[in-house]
Structure 1
Amino acid sequence: MSTESVSESLFEPVSLRRVQRVRHDIVRRELRVLRVEPLGPSFRRVVLGGPELHGFVSASFDDHLKFITDPGTEAQAMRDYTPRHYDAAAGELTLEFVLHGDGPASTWAAQAAPGQTATVAGPRGSTVVPTDFAWHLLVGDATALPAIARRLEELPAGTRAIVIATVPHQDDRRPLHSAAALEVQWVDGNQGLLDAVRALALPQGEGYAWCAGESRTSAALRALLVEEKGHDRYAISAAAYWKQGEAGHKPARGQ
């Protein structure tokens, strides 16, 4: 590293220097469905396993892997999903699917049953956000809920977590658990997310904000937090998990 780059890094905000980006080798894995569990009317949890899961790595709560349907055919499609949980000892990878009635992965998940095969690849990298920020704000729609739930389970006691989330149906509003001091606000729709964040008084101390969901909504949430509320622009990630009117949108993160 040059002297100039060292000098520049010293003047970066602490929040930026604390976030680490890690690259992984992309490995394609053929797995088998072990268990399937409904999680309200709009979600289905699928637990995968198999010898090829050995060596799987997911270092961050908002990692995404490629879930591949109809591999090797003209109908092959790839969609991005959060590794909800990985148990190396048990050899199990858990994914949660939103059953939105459209798309190859959602259609597959709706009929998934033990014994079926599944193909995944990745994650190709991780953005590791430390858990010891004084507070964590997690905002998102149904597609963000697996990452939110995973993050909450990772946070230690002594921190504060604020969740603002929207899901398609009242019965999708599941209990969320964390050792952190947890506040959960369920709202209706993307406008509800924006209204709730606008009304929120950000806590004191160094905090990290994470938002994910529809592209325009995530961008609006980032602008609201940084431009209207003065939150540190280096201490926020706003991810576009999907885009209205665009099938197969590739997730994008704004930092």
Structure 2
Amino acid sequence: MMDMAAPQPTITRLRHETRRRSLTVLATDHVTPDMLRLRLGGADLVGFVSASPADHIKLFVPDGAGGQAMRDYTPRRFDVAEGWLDLDFALHDAGPATIWALQAKVGDRAEIGGPRGSQVIGGPIAEWLLIGDETALPSIARRIEEMPAGTPVTSIVTIPQDADRQEISTAASHRPIWVSRSDPTDPAPLLAAFAEVPLRPAQFVWIAAEAGVARAVRDAALARGVPPDWLRAAGYWVAGTADASVNDL
């Protein structure tokens, strides 16, 4: 059990300017069979800020019925000076954003909004454990890439097939664990992998997946003695409900 009198992690909440930005599709890339990356860019990206790998922007797309739908996506990578932003689309559904992304061509218009704010995790964190499915992979991969050199980090990510493994370039000391599974709403594969990973003092555990799966892994972490202040869990999507998420479980 961790010493609760010891220094605790900090959550710094930042607010950003909220406005729509009109961008252009600069490139499309199937990173893996089930992950599509779009690079968006344009002068309207000036002033864009994303201070945390857990940030999300709103992407505005046609809803297929003459209206407009909004979906949340992680800013995977971006360079405001060069004028580009990468978004990764997990191709696990046929919703309006996925359909739009699959049909997108270089030169097409794209509208985004946000991020409205950031939650920056800091403090005396000696090690990280990042757990999620492919919808959380853009956030997990970005966090690992941005870690200081030598930072110990383990990631456990469930994916539809082995071909969906990604190479994550980082100076951190990264141990990747990939788990192929068929049902993204079944917590058993993540729970089994998590049970095999040792927990250590000053280790921060971050979880994001389908809401029921994330809740099950969170409960398992608490049962193994992870203090609540050293844990964050989010439901990035909710099975059976379109455009639903649970930011804090």
Q: Does 1:193 align with 2:186?
A: no
Q: Which amino acid aligns with 2:194?
A: V
Residue 156 of structure 1: CA displacement? 1.1
Match of 1:58 in 2: 50
Q: Does 1:87 align with 2:79?
A: yes
Match of 2:160 among 168, 187, 211: 168
Task: Report 1:155-234 matches (<5 A).
Answer: 155-189=147-181, 190-203=187-200, 205-226=201-222, 228-234=223-229
Q: Does 1:15 align with 2:12?
A: no
Distance (Å, rounded) in 2 between the aligned partners of 1:53 and 1:47: 12
Distance (Å, rounded) in 2 between the aligned partners of 1:161 and 1:235: 14
Residue 89 of structure 1: CA displacement? 1.5
CA RMSD after TM alignment: 1.8
String of CA shifts for 1:204-246, please: whole Å, max 9, x gaps: x3111111010011111111111x2111211111010001111
Change beyond 3 A, Cα 1:89–1:12 = farther
Secondary structure at the residue paired with 2:192? helix
| Structure 2 unmatched runs, 5+ | 182-186
Secondary structure at the residue paired with 2:75? coil
| Structure 1 unmatched runs, 5+ | 1-10
Secondary structure at the residue paired with 1:46? strand
Contact kept in structure 2, 1:135 and 1:159, CA below 8 Å: yes
Change beyond 3 A, Cα 1:115–1:19 = same
More strand by share: 2
Secondary structure at the residue paired with 2:48? coil
> After the TM superposition, which of the residue ranges 245-254 and 76-85 deviates more from structure 2?
245-254
Q: Does 1:112 align with 2:112?
A: no
Distance (Å, rounded) in 2 between the aligned partners of 1:140 and 1:68: 25
Secondary structure at the residue paired with 1:26? coil
Distance (Å, rounded) in 1 between the aligned partners of 2:59 and 2:98: 11
Distance (Å, rounded) in 2 between the aligned partners of 1:240 and 1:19: 19
Distance (Å, rounded) in 1 between the aligned partners of 2:167 and 2:159: 13
Match of 1:41 in 2: 33
Distance (Å, rounded) in 1 between the aligned partners of 2:70 and 2:6: 36
Residue 250 of structure 1: CA displacement? 3.2
Q: Does 1:67 align with 2:59?
A: yes
Distance (Å, rounded) in 2 between the aligned partners of 1:13 and 1:211: 23
Q: Does 1:27 align with 2:19?
A: yes
Structure 1: 4+ residue segments shifted above 4 A = none
Residue 75 of structure 1: CA displacement? 2.1
Secondary structure at the residue paired with 1:106? helix
Change beyond 3 A, Cα 1:207–1:32 = same
The two structures have a TM-score, normalised by structure 2, of: 0.91
Contact kept in structure 2, 1:99 and 1:109, CA below 8 Å: no
- Identity among equivalent positions (%) equals 41
Q: Does 1:250 align with 2:248?
A: no
The two structures have a TM-score, normalised by structure 1, of: 0.89
